[in-house]
Amino acid sequence: MEQVVLKAHSLPEQLWVLANDLSVQKHPSISDLFNQAYERDMLPGKIMNAIPTNGSLKEITKAECAEQAGRVQCRGKQYVPESDQLWLRLIQ
């Protein structure tokens, strides 16, 4: 069994700052972080609007996407929107 620990000097500066932020250490739920990230990231909304209307997207092939429980699934994987806090929490 192996275990890898990320050292602060190995992280990008933005994630290092978040790792030392007490408000992040309170560990908001993953669901809350996804909701906040979905509000800021425009791509999931574009995808969800295009799926039922047969609209087109230049960012991604719509045929590979589906909506499941209000989240975008692409090729069977959940889309993770841009959010340093969400990314850090998923890594933790």
pLDDT of residue 7 exceeding 70? no
The model's pLDDT over 28-63, given as tens digits with 9 standing for 90+, comes to 888 889 899 988 988 888 777 777 776 667 667 667
Where do the domains of the chain lie?
Answer: 8-91
Predicted confidence (pLDDT) per residue in 63-83, tens digit: 778 888 888 888 888 888 888
- Higher-pLDDT residue of 84 and 54 is 84
Rounded CA gap, 72 and 76, in Å?
A: 9
